[in-house]
Amino acid sequence: MVIKVFVATSSGSTAIKKKQQEVVGFLEANKIDFQQMDIAGDEDNRKWMRENVPGEKKPQNGIPLPPQIFNEEQYCGDFESFFSAKEENIIYSFLGLAPPPGTKESEKSEATGETEAHTEDKADEGTNEEAQSAQSPSEDQQESKEEHTESEKEEKQEEGEKNQEEGEEKQEEGEEKEEVKEEEES
């Protein structure tokens, strides 16, 4: 099974770039095999991704943004789903993979008596549950999403305040130049 992460290598959005880097970095750090599928340079990848993201996961405009994560042909989720699974230490079940021995997730499955085959069967069921939970997210998922959204808002607000300060400085410089000019003229 190969995890496919659909990314846009030439995205102009820093938010999308950060999300893509977080997903790819996490998979690399945990030695999870995956393929990056570029939607910016390959029209077939873009078309396939857009057609295979479930309707309930598409934004209002109907065009899902990267990163989007699949296990072969099976849709796993978008960045928000990935982020929630990571926070809840259920990333392997999110990806439809058996957790490696010694991980918190494998300890959970051993404690509940699940076998790897049972886990794989549940992965198929999990996709249906994810679709249902996508419509009504758990409190933890909602809190995680709200925290993530809040941090993005804070970043944008800080950037806006910085831009406003720069604008005010430029305005002050302009006013000073006008005063100097008026003094020189009189």
What is the spatial distance between Cα 135 and Cα 22, in angstroms, rounded to a whole number?
Answer: 25
Residue of 138 and 94 predicted with greater confidence: 94
Q: Are the CB atoms for 15 and 152 separated by under 8 Å? A: yes
**Collapsed DSSP state (helix, strand, coil) of residue 83:** helix
- pLDDT tens for residues 140-165? 555 555 555 555 655 656 666 656 66
What is the spatial distance between Cα 146 and Cα 149, in angstroms, rounded to a whole number?
Answer: 5
Tokens 């494998």, residue located = 106
Contacts of range 15-24, beta carbons closer than 8 Å, 24 or more positions apart:
15/152, 16/65, 16/66, 16/67, 19/66, 19/67, 19/79, 20/66, 20/67, 22/79, 22/83, 23/67, 23/69, 23/79, 23/82, 24/67
- pLDDT tens for residues 32-72? 999 999 999 999 999 999 999 999 989 888 899 999 999 99
Residue of 53 and 168 predicted with greater confidence: 53
